[in-house]
Amino acid sequence: MAVGARSGHDEPDKRAGGAFGDDTTGDDVTGDERAQPPGGGTPGEGDDDTAGGSGRGPKKQRSFWKELPLLVGIALVLALLIKTFLVQAFSIPSESMMNTLQKGDRVLVDKLTPWFGSEPERGEVVVFHDPGGWLEGQQTPTPNVVQKFLSFIGLMPSAEEKDLIKRVIAVGGDTVSCKEGGKVVLNGKALDETAYLYPGSVPCQDSFGPIKVPENRIWVMGDNRQNSLDSRFHQQLPGGGTVSEDEVVGRAVVIAWPVTRWATLPVPEVFDQPGLDQAVAAAPVGAAGLAGALPLVLWRRKKLAARHTAA
């Protein structure tokens, strides 16, 4: 029995007693030591250090609904900037530009290039503000509050502004005219406008001109000549039917809607024919000739003065 005592047969009793709570420093202490993370500290701290190294839990993602107003605000600001400086949508309200543009088409107007000094050129389709009296008596639709807001930021075509859209036929310094039933004559060159005139439309049903377009102004006409109140019909107003370049909003570059009508609006080839710039180029050539002749005149006067002195 003594051997048995010395060999440790009484240890199971102690472990059993400890398991039942006789030894309050037994398994409970061992269990606490297992749960404690390496390096000490309270339980759970090791996990936080492993995850972020900062002792804090993962950052909570911001709710989509909290970010939505910010995203909408950024989108509205971008839309306003695009409408102000880049492009703007306009709705075609009449048939004056058929078949190039049909009533209800939406066109995108380039407003960027004028900021860099670009001027309207012959053959371009441009949008311009009413110079004064062109739309007198014509009713414009009254949009609701939502339409006004969307129009203001450029997400909808302008509905209440009095703007017009026509094709530039002549620019400052050009001379334009037309005889009844004939072709439009620009700087002495007859224009073949069959590529863009409405089928069956004549270039002009009434004679006008010749008209010398003042500098920084343009002469505009619709492609549907028999259904367009353009420069021809406002010659009694200030400017003689011409439009100031300052009134031009920009050039219409593409038909954006409906998708079945999508197309670009290039300058017709007739405006690239040789000779159209002859009248404009004559002034610089004459100035160059005068500059070249001036030294000769001065030399001759000096020679004559020398003769008189010698006599």
Whole-number pLDDT of residue 173: 96
What residue type is assigned to position 91 of the chain? S
Residue 15 has pLDDT above 60, yes or no: no
177: annotated active-site residue:
no
- Annotated catalytic residue, options 91, 151, 158, 166: 166
Closest by CA to 134, choosing from 252, 245, 247, 212, is 247
189-190 sheet: strands from edge to edge: 189-190, 184-186, 175-178, 208-212
Residues 6 or more apart whose CB falls under 8 angstroms from that of 93 comprise 103
96: annotated active-site residue:
yes
Whole-number pLDDT of residue 5: 37
- Annotated catalytic residue, options 96, 158, 177, 231: 96
Residue 209 CA to residue 166 CA, distance in Å, equals 19
Residues 6 or more apart whose CB falls under 8 angstroms from that of 167 comprise 97, 100, 123, 124, 125, 126, 196, 220, 221, 222, 223
Whole-number pLDDT of residue 88: 85
pLDDT mean over 192-196: 96
pTM above 0.95, yes or no: no
Count of C-beta atoms within a 10 Å radius of residue 91? 18
Query: How confident is the model over 115-170, as pLDDT tens digits?
Result: 677 899 999 999 999 998 898 866 665 666 666 666 665 555 555 567 999 999 99
